[in-house]
Amino acid sequence: MRSRIALALTLVLAGCSAAGPGSSSGGQPSSGGAPSQPAASQGNGEPTPGTDLTACQLVTPADVEAALALDPGTVAEGTHREIPTVPSPGSNECRYRGDAWGGLVVTVIPEDGVNTFDAVNSAFGDAAEVIEAGDGALWFPDNDRGYFLKGAVMVLLQFTSVLTGTGFKEATEAVGRAALARI
């Protein structure tokens, strides 16, 4: 199941990248039931970035510590990486890793997160739990991923491991809400 979702997500992200401007769902809720918003756009039809913050700025070590009930200073700064081709030029990620607590990957799509969120919701929304946050949020228990949308920005969170006894969903939701508050 995980490999099927991972393959489909890769195809969805590639499709969103190829879809280009003007392919937004127009703000209609997708079949999965989570609300969506059209991306704000500039006069030339290109999406307006919803944030200048990187993934490491949207999700901080303190956010991870709070979500996992860790002592301050337990989580080290994350490793930032640009991923400009998936699915939009400003996309980037931050990886946090610690032997004492686990790992977290944060991916931010600042320009056109709406299309990605809508595509994921359309393709897999029936397997998701809706979280009341931002302009839409989904939790996928089969692969422990959370998708959070606010305006044009989508934040994807995936704890790769949690060694503290805190559940993936609760930690993901807490970190997602912290990220949305900064957008």
Angle, alpha carbons 103-108-114 (nearest 5°): 135
136-140 β-sheet, strand order: 79-82, 92-98, 102-109, 153-162, 145-150, 136-140, 129-130
Tokens of 41: 């756009």
Over residues 100-111, the mean pLDDT reads 94
Tokens of 33: 């039931």
Does 164 score more than 70 pLDDT? Answer: yes
Burial of 84 (0-12, 13-18, 19+ CB in 10 A): exposed
On the CB side of 126, CA atoms within 13 Å amount to 2
Reported confidence tier of residue 49, pLDDT bands at 50, 70, 90: low
Listed range (7-21, 41-55, 109-123, 165-179) with the worst mean pLDDT: 7-21
Contact between residue 90 and residue 110 where contact means Cβ atoms under 8 Å apart: yes
Reported confidence tier of residue 135, pLDDT bands at 50, 70, 90: very high
Taking residue 79's Cβ as centre, other Cβ atoms within 10 Å add up to: 11
Question: What pLDDT is recorded for position 175?
Answer: 98
